Amino acid sequence: MRIENFFAELKRRNVYKVAVAYAVVAWLVIQAASIFLPAFDAPPWVMKIFIIVIIFGFPIALALSWAFEITPEGIKLESEIEPKKSTTRRTGRKIVVVTIALAVVAAGLFVYQLVRSKSTVTPRQSEAATKAISEKSIAVLPFESLSEDKANAYFAEGIQDEILTKLASIADLKVISRTSTAKYQSKPEDLKTVSQELGVATVVEGTVQRAADKVRVNVQLIDARADSHLWAKSYDREIKDVFAVESEISQEIADTLQAKLSPHEANALASAPTQDPEAYDLFLRGESEQREAEASRRPEAFDRAADWYRQAIIRDPNFSLAMARLAYSQMSRHWWIHSLAEKELAEVKETAEHALRLAPNLAEGHIALGFVFYWGYRQYDEALGEFQRAVELQPNNARAISFSATVHRRRGEWERCLSEFQRAGQLDPRDALYPASISTTYLQLRRWKEADRAARHALTLDTRAFGGMISLLNSCLNGTGDIKQARRIMSTFPTENRITSRVWGADVVDLIGQRAYLSVIERDFPAALKIWEPGVNDAAAKSGLGIAARPAIHVLAGDASTTQPESEQVRGVLESTLRERPNDFTTLTQLSWIYLALGRNAEALSAARRATNILPVEKDALIGPGVLTNLAEVEAHAGETEEAIKILRRLLSIPAGLEVSIARLRIDPVWDPIRSDPGFQQLLAGKEQIGPNK
C-alpha cells in the first residue's frame, strides 16, 4: 500500500478520530479518578497503575479501529465489508459529537478541581507552596527495628527520638516533629510525596538491631525531592556506646546539610542524657508508655509511664531528662485525668526544678516546669517564660511553640495564639492537634466558617481527632443551630471515641459529653441516658468524668425526682473530693447539678458561684466563659431568671462562642425554664460579638 493511500485509509477508518476520542476519554477518566480515588483512601500506586493501563490501551484502541467497523448489524471485520456498504463516515460524525461532549465534561471536571484546590488550600499551605523548600530542612522518619525480639521496638523509637531532639536544637535547620513523621513507614515508597507533604528537602531513614549488649544502627540521609542518597553509614557498637552513636549521626547530618552551629548547639549534639545504659533503657520504656497514655488518656498508662521514669531515676539519680519527663507525665495526668492535691503539685514542681538545677539548658525541663505553672497554678507569665526558654534552646520544638499558643489563648491574646499555632503546624504539618486547636480558637471568636474549615482539615489528617470532632460539631450547632446537620456530622464519627466526655467540666455540656448532649438538644432524653448506663462508658466513669451526667440529664428532662438515690450517692463522692481539692472548679460544677437534682437550689447556686470565683473569665479566656455559662444554667433552673439573662447578655458581648451563641440559645433545652421571659426573647433578637478578621 502506498504511503498516501495508507494515511487516506487511516482517515477513512476513523483511526484519527478514535485517537482523539481516546485521548479525551482518558483525560476525563484520569480527572474522575483523581477525585474519587483519594475519597476511598487509595494508595498512590493505584493511580500509577491506572495511568499505565490507559497508556497501553491506546495502541490497542487504534488497532481495533483499523481492523473493525461498527455497522447497523454489529461490529464486523473491515475485510468483511464492501466499500460501498461502509458506514465509516456516519460513524465518524458520531465519534466527533461524542468526543466534543466528553471534552466539555472533562473541562468541567478540570475547572471544578482547580476551584476546589484553591478553596481548600489554607493560607499557610498556599505560602508553603509558593516558597521553595529550604535545602536545610529535614524529617527523621521512624527507625525500623530489626531485632528478633519485637518488644525492642521502643529502643529503635528512642534512638530516632534522640537524634531528632538533637537536630531540633539547631536553629539553622527546619526539623519536622515526630508526630508528623510517625505517620509514615520507615522506608516510604514515594519520598517525593513525603517531601511535599512535610515541606522538607531531606529525610533520614534508619534501622536498629539490638542483640544482648550489642547494637547495630544503619542510617542514610536522602534528598527526598530527587530520591537520591546524600550520605549513609553503619555503626556496630556496644549498648553503652549508643549515646556516642546518636551524637555522631546528628553531627554527620548537620555537617552534610552545612548547618551553622552555635557553641550551645554543638554541645547539645555531643551531650548524652545519661551515662547509664540501663537507666536509658528504662527511660525509653517510659517514653513509649507516655506516648500510649497521651493517645489513650487511660490513667493506668500514665501510671506505668511514671513508674518507668522513676526506675530510671533510681538507677541514675542525676538523670535530669527522666525527671523532666516524669514531671510532665504527672502534670498531663493532673490535667486530663484527675487533679493533684496541693502537696502533690508541690512535689511535681520540685521534681521539675531539680531537673533544671542539674541541667539548666534542658528544654524538656523548662517545658515541665512551664506546665507546673500553667496546668498546676495558672501562673501564665511564669509558664510563658519557661516555654519561650524551651523554644530558645530548641527552635524546632513545635510542642513548646504550641504550649505558648495555649497560654496566650487563656489570656485572651487571640491573634498571637493563632499565629503560634500556625507556626507550630509548619513544624508538625501532619499533626491534627494544630488545626483542631485553631478551630477551637475560631469557635470562641464566633468565626464559624473558619472554625469549620480548620476542623475539617484536622479530620483529614486524623479521622479520630477528638478536637476536630468537637469543633466541627460545634461550628454547626453554635453557628447555624442546624440539628439535623449536626446529627449527620455526628454519624460520621467513630462510636468508640472520647467525644462522649469532654475533660474540663466547665458547664453541663462538658458534664454529659457532646454525644449525649446532641440527644438532649433533640429532646431525646432516654437516648442521652442510655449513653451513660453503667458499663457503657466505664472509661470516663473511672476517671471521674461523667459522674454527674445522669442526674444532670434528669434535671434537663424535668424528672429529677426519679434520680434521688443516685444523686445522693454521687453527692457524697463529690463532697469528699472537694474537701481534698477545695479549688477544683470541675467538682464544684458537677456538684451544682447534683444539688439541683436534689432540689437544693441554694447550694447549687453557691457551688456554681464559687466555681466562677475560682476560674473567672479574666483568669481564663477559654474555659472561664464556660464556668460562667454553668452559673447562668444553674440560675435558669433555680429560679434566678434575671441573673441568668444578665450573664447571657455578657457572654454574648465577649468571645465565648464555644458555649453561647444566639443560634444555640434558640435550640438548647437548658434554657427552657426562662425561654418565655421577655428578656431572653430580647437576647434572641440581638447581636453577639464576632471575633476580629471574620
In a domain, 589, yes or no: yes
Same domain, 525 and 649: yes
Tell me which of 56-60, 163-167, 521-525, 555-559 is least confident: 56-60
Same domain, 553 and 664: yes
> So what's the pLDDT on residue 501?
46
Same domain, 7 and 149: no
CATH number for the domain spanning 552: value is 1.25.40
Distance (Å, whole) CA 632 – CA 670: 10
Same domain, 644 and 541: yes
Length of the chain: 694
Give yes or no for residue 476 having a pLDDT over 80. yes
Tell me which of 49-53, 137-141, 236-240, 651-655 is least confident: 49-53
Same domain, 146 and 93: no
Same domain, 212 and 92: no
Same domain, 532 and 662: yes
In a domain, 232, yes or no: yes
Question: Which residue type sits at 383?
Answer: A
In a domain, 103, yes or no: yes
Distance (Å, whole) CA 118 – CA 113: 9
> So what's the pLDDT on residue 296?
80
In a domain, 605, yes or no: yes
> So what's the pLDDT on residue 135?
87
Q: What share of the chain is helix, strand, coil (3-state, %, to 5)?
A: 65, 5, 25
In a domain, 85, yes or no: yes
Give yes or no for residue 130 having a pLDDT over 60. no
- Cα-Cα end-to-end distance for the chain: 72
Give yes or no for residue 128 having a pLDDT over 60. no
In a domain, 259, yes or no: yes
Long-range contacts of 306-312 (CB under 8 A, 24+ apart): 306/330, 306/333, 308/282, 308/283, 309/282, 309/283, 311/282, 312/274, 312/279, 312/280, 312/282, 312/283, 312/286
CATH number for the domain spanning 246: value is 3.40.50.10070
Q: Give 494-541 pLDDT, tens digit per residue.
A: 776 545 444 456 899 999 988 899 999 999 999 999 988 876 555 455
Domain that holds residue 171: 137-265
Confidence of residue 187 (pLDDT cuts 50, 70, 90): confident
Strands (E) in 246-370, as ranges, are: none
> Last residue of a domain, which of 394, 424, 451?
394
Rg of the chain's alpha carbons, rounded to an integer? 31
Confidence of residue 68 (pLDDT cuts 50, 70, 90): low
> So what's the pLDDT on residue 23?
80
In a domain, 668, yes or no: yes
Give yes or no for residue 96 having a pLDDT over 90. no
Q: How many CA atoms lie within 13 A of 181 on its CB side?
A: 25
**Mean pLDDT of the residues in the chain:** 86
> Last residue of a domain, which of 265, 294, 322?
265
Asked if residue 589 lies in contact with residue 544, where contact means CB atoms within 8 angstroms, the answer is no
> So what's the pLDDT on residue 578?
92
Confidence of residue 66 (pLDDT cuts 50, 70, 90): low
Longest dimension (CA), the chain: 106
Asked if residue 311 lies in contact with residue 282, where contact means CB atoms within 8 angstroms, the answer is yes
**Residues 543, 549, 551, 555: what is their CA dihedral angle, to the nearest 10 degrees?**
150
Same domain, 531 and 679: yes
What's the DSSP call for residue 468? H
Confidence of residue 71 (pLDDT cuts 50, 70, 90): low
Asked if residue 20 lies in contact with residue 10, where contact means CB atoms within 8 angstroms, the answer is no
> So what's the pLDDT on residue 687?
86
Asked if residue 552 lies in contact with residue 501, where contact means CB atoms within 8 angstroms, the answer is no
Question: Which residue type sits at 506?
Answer: A
Same domain, 98 and 15: yes
Q: Which of 137, 140, 153, 147 is nearest to 180 (CA)?
A: 140
Query: Residue 363: CB partners within 8 Å, gap ≥ 6?
Result: 169, 389, 390, 393, 394, 397, 400
In a domain, 247, yes or no: yes
Mean pLDDT of 465-471: 89
Same domain, 528 and 666: yes
Same domain, 527 and 554: yes
Mean pLDDT of 54-58: 79
Share of residues in the chain with pLDDT > 90 (%): 62
Tell me which of 133-142, 254-263, 367-376, 526-535 is least confident: 526-535
Counting the structural domains of the chain, the total is: 4
Confidence of residue 689 (pLDDT cuts 50, 70, 90): confident
Same domain, 605 and 565: yes
Give yes or no for residue 145 having a pLDDT over 80. yes
> Last residue of a domain, which of 362, 394, 426?
394
**Residues 235, 172, 267, 218: what is their CA dihedral angle, to the nearest 10 degrees?**
-10
Give yes or no for residue 73 having a pLDDT over 80. no
Task: Provide the total of helices (H) and of strands (E) in the chain, helices listed first.
Answer: 34, 8
DSSP codes, 517-563? HHHHHTT-HHHHHHHTSTTTSHHHHHTTTTTTHHHHHHHHHT-GGGG
Confidence of residue 338 (pLDDT cuts 50, 70, 90): confident
**Which residue's C-alpha cell is 454547626?**
476
Which comes out higher in pLDDT, residue 688 or 318? 318
